[in-house]
């Protein structure tokens, strides 16, 4: 790291910080991402993807270093920040801008998919803007190779950020695909135009139910959204991944008329996600289970920060305790929650509509989760989903980074 002058912090996540820096004896500015060494395996999952990627729509990876306490990634510096910050300032964007941005996102995804890479975490906070206003896909911590034939890993990587997760990712065997990346693309385009996510709720269980069962609500016809844009959103946000838009259909969709035509690139097969596979039948079976009506529960709300932390970075200890309790309750026919110790949780004072609550901005005052009460319908559905999802449990602490 002695080759760089390190300046101010420009971003902070649950497990990492990003700094603006300059290579010594040059005018080359870079972004340096610092992560605690305890997350070495996670970071080294990202490095192979970044090292091999070469696209104007993907953030450039320059180098990496390992010190006694941290891992440092040297990345391209994007002066425009990310789409999340842009949305926070402007609230919503005109359709002409959404069209241009969407085209670049599609080009970036096309490059990744053609190279057998699933992005798995497309959201405004992971899309950076360079000095020319072009978009760059960043943060490949959840990216993975397209799985081959056979059974998926027993403990795959965390699925992603709940508000951008496709319905099939809430099922027993969560397998990412082109279709799940397309769903996230639809969520981002919807959010850029309307200023809000297509599905919003403060509890994870209800959010999961909405994503799997409720229809997307488009604004009124006089909102300035074209028929072509509305059709694209409907095709991207189709519940059934096997009915969702395909690459052949996406690149020729009329919404892109007036822009350069994207080439129809040959894509690698997705053997594990074929229509005839057991995953296809499993998806439909669990959708039918989740669509059954259950009365609402007035239980404790989980903030948006909690939801994202529980999926992207492992469940907090209270949920782990409750999972164990559910298993024991099935044997003892009990339906009461165990005593839960008090645990720090991310900031609860967050307005879901301003969309500044993802894992890139989970700072601020902490709330508490404690108490003992009966488990309601939403609690049970939430616990069922968490038990079904093979989520990795890990420490959520962040080690402060100091420079001498």
Give the span between the Cα atoms of 240 and 235, in whole angstroms. 10
Inter-helix orientation angle 83-90/178-194, to 10°: 30
What are the tokens at 382?
Answer: 């939430």
Q: How far is CA 299 from the centre of its chain?
A: 26
Catalytic residue among 82, 121, 355, 362: 121
Angle at 121 (CA atoms; ends 345, 402), nearest 5 degrees? 55
Burial 20-51 (b: 16+ CB within 10 A, else e): bbeeeeeeeebbbbbbbebbeebbebbeebbe
Closest CA to 103 of 296, 261, 335: 261
What Rg do the C-alpha atoms of the chain give, in angstroms? 21
Give the span between the Cα atoms of 116 and 193, in whole angstroms. 30
Closest CA to 347 of 39, 14, 84: 14
Hey, which residues does 11 pair with through a beta bridge?
18
User: 266 Cβ partners below 8 Å, 6+ apart?
Assistant: 114
User: 285 Cβ partners below 8 Å, 6+ apart?
Assistant: none
Angle at 182 (CA atoms; ends 180, 184), nearest 5 degrees? 75
- Determine whether 296 is exposed, middle or buried from the number of CB atoms within 10 Å of its CB (0-12, 13-18, 19+): exposed
**121 given a catalytic annotation:** yes
Give the span between the Cα atoms of 160 and 173, in whole angstroms. 14
Inter-helix orientation angle 278-290/204-213, to 10°: 110
Q: Is there a binding annotation on residue 384?
A: no
Tell me the binding residues.
33
Residues serving a catalytic function are: 121
Tell me the binding residues for ATP.
33
């Amino acid at each position: 790291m002695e080759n760089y002058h390190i300046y101010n912090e420009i971003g902070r996540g649950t497990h990492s910080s990003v700094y603006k820096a300059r290579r010594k004896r040059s005018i080359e500015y870079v972004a340096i991402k610092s992560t605690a060494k305890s997350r070495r395996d996670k970071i080294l999952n990202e490095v192979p993807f970044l090292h091999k990627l070469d696209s104007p729509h993907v953030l450039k990876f320059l180098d990496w270093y390992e010190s006694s306490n941290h891992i440092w990634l040297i990345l391209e510096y994007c002066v425009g920040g990310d789409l999340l910050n842009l949305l926070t300032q402007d609230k919503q964007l005109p359709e002409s801008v959404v069209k241009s941005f969407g085209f670049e996102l599609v080009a970036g995804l096309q490059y990744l998919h053609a190279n057998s890479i699933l992005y798995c975490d497309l959201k405004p906070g992971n899309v950076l803007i360079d000095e020319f206003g072009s978009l760059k896909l960043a943060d490949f911590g959840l990216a993975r190779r397209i799985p081959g034939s056979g059974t998926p890993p027993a403990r795959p990587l965390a699925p992603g950020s709940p508000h951008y997760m496709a319905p099939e990712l809430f099922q027993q065997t969560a397998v990412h695909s082109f279709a799940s990346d397309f769903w996230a693309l639809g969520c981002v385009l919807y959010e850029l135009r309307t200023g809000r996510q297509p599905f919003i709720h403060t509890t994870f269980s209800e959010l999961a139910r909405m994503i799997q069962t409720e229809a997307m609500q488009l604004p009124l016809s006089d909102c300035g959204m074209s028929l072509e844009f509305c059709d694209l959103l409907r095709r991207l946000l189709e519940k059934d991944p096997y009915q969702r838009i395909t690459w052949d259909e996406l690149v020729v969709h009329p919404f892109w008329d007036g822009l350069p035509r994207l080439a129809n690139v040959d894509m690698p097969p997705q053997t594990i996600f074929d229509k005839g596979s057991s995953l296809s039948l499993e998806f439909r079976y669990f959708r039918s289970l989740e669509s059954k009506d259950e009365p609402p529960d007035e239980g404790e709300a989980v903030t948006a920060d909690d939801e994202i932390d529980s999926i992207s970075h492992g469940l907090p200890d209270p949920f782990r305790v409750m999972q164990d309790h559910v298993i024991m309750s099935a044997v003892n026919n009990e339906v009461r929650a165990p005593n839960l110790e008090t645990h720090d949780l991310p900031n609860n004072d967050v307005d879901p509509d301003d969309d500044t609550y993802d894992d890139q901005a989970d700072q601020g005052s902490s709330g508490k989760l404690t108490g003992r009460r009966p488990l309601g319908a939403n609690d049970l559905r939430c616990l069922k989903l968490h038990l079904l999802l093979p989520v990795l449990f890990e420490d959520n602490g962040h080690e402060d980074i100091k420079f001498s």
